[in-house]
Amino acid sequence: MSHLTDHAHVHPDQLSAVAITSGGVRLIHVAGVAECPSELWRVEFVPAGSAGVGTSPERLRLGIRSTPPRRRGRVRRARVAFEAIIEDPRTREIEVHLECQPAVVVPVLEAVPGFGAGARASRPDAHRRLAPISTLVRAMADAATRTLQTARAAVAGAGPVAATA
């Protein structure tokens, strides 16, 4: 008999935070993946309360809340993605308090300032059709996720290097 969890298990290495600044507004896209008993579970970021004494003002505290489905269905493990978009001009780290796990600190990666400029300049009608900020944030988050995955794969694949003479 296999053991099924009754809560969402968040993979700390699947948490990411990417900041994009546009028009003087800095948005942070925080995303993660949780392993849940079924795909009907809801996982979300929630405020985790005020920081303790001596905590840096550049660190934002978030908690994760998982909610089981109201109706019963098939129980089969599923990976559930969740995200939040936060407007904050100074946060450099996100402290995520997980359910049934120790807290993790996720660094906020700054998006490359000219990321969208090249794409807009390549279209002749770019000045007439501007993308909404949510589209830009999602594009930046996708680019950051691909970069993180590439970096993780490079580190995982990097074994001891033998010197050749």
- Residue 119 φ/ψ, nearest 5 degrees: -65, -40
Across the range 10-30, mean pLDDT stands at 90
* Arithmetic mean of pLDDT, 99-115: 81
Residue 126: per-residue pLDDT: 39
Task: Determine, yes or no, domain membership for 163.
Answer: no
Domain that holds residue 144: 9-155
- Going by C-alpha positions, the residue among 12, 21, 90, 101 that lies closest to residue 51 is 90
| pLDDT tens digits, 84-100 | 999 999 899 999 998 77
What's the mean pLDDT in 74-87?
A: 86
Q: Report the pLDDT value the prediction gives residue 63, as an integer from 0 to 100.
A: 92
Mean pLDDT for the stretch of residues 147-162: 66
pLDDT of res. 1: 38
Task: Identify the residue with better confidence: 100 or 107.
Answer: 107
Structural domain includes residue 161 = no
pLDDT of residue 128: 41
Please check whether residue 104 is in contact with residue 98, taking contact to mean a CB–CB distance below 8 angstroms.
yes
**82 located within any domain:** yes
The count of structural domains within the chain is 1
Could you tell me if 88 and 26 are in contact, meaning their C-beta atoms sit under 8 angstroms apart? yes
Q: Is the pLDDT of residue 15 over 70?
A: yes
Q: How far is CA 162 from CA 41, 155, 158, 159, in A?
A: 47, 16, 11, 9
Q: What is the pTM (predicted TM-score) of this model?
A: 0.63
Q: pLDDT at position 95, please?
A: 93
Provide the percentage of residues in the chain whose pLDDT is more than 70: 68
pLDDT interval class at 46 (50, 70, 90): very high
State how far the Cα of 109 lies from the Cα of 92, in Å rounded to an integer. Answer: 8
What's the pLDDT score for residue 52?
Answer: 59
**Domain assignment present for 162:** no
Q: Calculate the dihedral angle through the C-alpha atoms of 84, 90, 93, 94, rounding to the nearest 10 degrees.
A: -30
Whether 39 is covered by a domain: the verdict is yes
| pLDDT for 36 | 87
Let me know the angle formed at the C-alpha of 99 by 4 and 106, rounded to the nearest 5 degrees. Answer: 120
Let me know if residue 165 belongs to a domain.
no
